[in-house]
Structure 1
Amino acid sequence: MSQTAAGQETGRAARNNLAFNVLLMVLKLVVGIWARSEALIADGLHSGADVFSSVAVMVGLAIAGRPPDSGHHYGHAKAEAISQKVVAVLLLLAGLEVANSAIAGIEHPGPAPDWIALAVALVAMVPKGVMAVTQRRLAKRTGSHAILAAATDNVTDAISSLVASLGILASRLGYASGDSVAALVVAALVMWAGVDVFRTAAVDLMDPAADPETTQALRERAQAVAGVLSLSSMRTRLNGARIFVDLEIEVDRHLSLLAAHDIAHQVEDALKAEPRVEGVTVHVNPAGEDGKG
């Protein structure tokens, strides 16, 4: 998949995620308030955080898609990681607000929520689960950690809807604080998701290496180029969803400078054929007399 096609697909996924989260937020909050369900209101606030998260992801993807310029020679891909940190902060704040309200509900239980609250919580689980699965697949294809963060958030939202359902059911069956206890569990899930997204963003900003499977595939591509006797070293660096590669190849020490230069170009072209590879730097070393470095 080309970088342009990947950007269009991730952008479309982010827009769809935003539209659906707005719908769920309104539905959960309206029904939660009407049916007097702390758990469903908490779930609705989680969806509200998802709305702001989706906006942050869309902005991050838009900036990340900009080409390199005079001030950013390696592009703007790390904007994705910045958007992830915004998502993480929003989730943490939403979780704290929900927890505060849930604790008050546990201390002073109210009437049991209406049955419609249970129905909405159960229905909301299904599309969230489907979205999480499709977004994880998309994140794997494109390498977009912002989309992966959205998928993780959707998983948490689906689980929080399940917890809300159980709490509402418990309240309807006579456990007065069940709804509020469920809201407190939802708050903990939301905050945990925030911590997880923040951790992923922090790793992305530290120039991590590509995964072992991708690294091995790149190594094999380089070694398959005619004239490459071996690889002295190879390093990879992630910049958002894009990969930069620095490697040293060994060639016949008796080759002309022009021939060695041509082999280096072939290695560069071979690695750039991989969809996510953005930049390749090749250093040429002469092999020893025995053909080894």
Structure 2
Amino acid sequence: MKGHIRKRKIMAVTLVGSLANFLLLVFKFVAGVLGHSSAMIADAVHSLSDFITDVIVLLFINISSKPKDEGHDYGHGKYETLATTIIGIVLMCVGVGLFWDGANKIFGFYFRGEALESPGKIALIAAIVSIIIKEALYRLTLYVGKKENSQAVIANAWHHRSDAFSSIGTTLGIGGAILLGDNWRV
């Protein structure tokens, strides 16, 4: 019974996070396109990775909550450790991808003379909304992860926090480009 309650709490917080991540993904992508902000579109990709890690947590929580059986003398709890590892790998890949995209745009601007559009205010609003929502998700998910002693949920909470941090960078970049003018667009 206790394992069933734990699983329900973990599933609930992860479903809340996945719904928020999906809505943020759509909002950021639309704001990035309408606001001419490649930084916001990159932030939308980061939200996509959050959505994917939520799905990973949901899948692995179902597996790890199974009781011990003939082939698993100590239960299936190690699958939660595997989920944590996968989330870490996804985070690393997204970080490398965001770095690559940003570096490519900067290189194109300075060395190939490629133009950069000035971002719109909707992109700035989306970045600020993202910071608030992702920090709230981090706190809620971390609370449940610690209470239920779930490393996968705690890792997912930190993924929410990393998205909040990347949105802070996005906010500063978009805000700087808007407030400081065309020379600061890059």
Tell me if TM exceeds 0.5: yes
Give the Cα–Cα distance (whole angstroms) in 2 for the partners of residues 44 and 166 of structure 1.
Answer: 16
Shift >4 Å, 4+ stretches: 175-180
- Which residue among 113, 129, 135 is the counterpart of 2:135? 129
Q: CA deviation at 1:91?
A: 1.7
| Residue in structure 2 matched with residue 173 of structure 1 by the alignment | 179
Contact 2:14 2:141 in 1 (8 A): no
What pairs up with 1:129-278 in 2 under 5 angstroms?
Answer: 129-174=135-180, 176=182
| Residue in structure 1 matched with residue 52 of structure 2 by the alignment | 52
1:207-256 C-alpha deviation (Å, 9 max, x unpaired): xxxxxxxxxxxxxxxxxxxxxxxxxxxxxxxxxxxxxxxxxxxxxxxxxx
Q: Secondary structure at the match of 2:96?
A: helix
1:178-208 C-alpha deviation (Å, 9 max, x unpaired): 565xxxxxxxxxxxxxxxxxxxxxxxxxxxx
| Residue in structure 2 matched with residue 11 of structure 1 by the alignment | 11
Give the Cα–Cα distance (whole angstroms) in 1 for the partners of residues 136 and 58 of structure 2.
Answer: 20
Give the Cα–Cα distance (whole angstroms) in 1 for the partners of residues 183 and 58 of structure 2.
Answer: 38
| Residue in structure 2 matched with residue 40 of structure 1 by the alignment | 40
Give the Cα–Cα distance (whole angstroms) in 2 for the partners of residues 63 and 151 of structure 1.
Answer: 20
Contact 2:61 2:80 in 1 (8 A): yes
Contact 1:106 1:177 in 2 (8 A): no
Of structures 1 and 2, the one scoring higher in RCO (CA 8 A, sep 6+) is 2
TM-score, normalised with respect to structure 1? 0.58
Q: Secondary structure at the match of 2:69?
A: coil
Unmatched segments (≥5 aa) in structure 2: 110-114
CA RMSD of superposed structures (Å): 1.8
Contact 1:37 1:112 in 2 (8 A): yes
Q: Which one has the largest radius of gyration? A: 1
Higher fraction of strand = 1
Give the Cα–Cα distance (whole angstroms) in 1 for the partners of residues 150 and 132 of structure 2.
Answer: 24
Q: Amino acid of the residue matched to residue 106 of structure 1?
A: I
- Between stretches 100-109 and 125-134, larger displacement belongs to 100-109
Give the Cα–Cα distance (whole angstroms) in 2 for the partners of residues 56 and 99 of structure 1.
Answer: 24
Cα 1:45–1:176 shift into 2, 3 Å:
farther
Unmatched segments (≥5 aa) in structure 1: 181-293
Q: CA deviation at 1:2?
A: 2.4
Is 1:115 matched up with 2:127? no
Give the Cα–Cα distance (whole angstroms) in 2 for the partners of residues 47 and 153 of structure 1.
Answer: 10
| Residue in structure 1 matched with residue 76 of structure 2 by the alignment | 76
Q: Secondary structure at the match of 1:71?
A: coil
Contact 2:39 2:174 in 1 (8 A): yes
| Residue in structure 2 matched with residue 94 of structure 1 by the alignment | 94
TM-score, normalised with respect to structure 2? 0.90
Q: CA deviation at 1:162?
A: 1.5
Contact 1:112 1:176 in 2 (8 A): yes
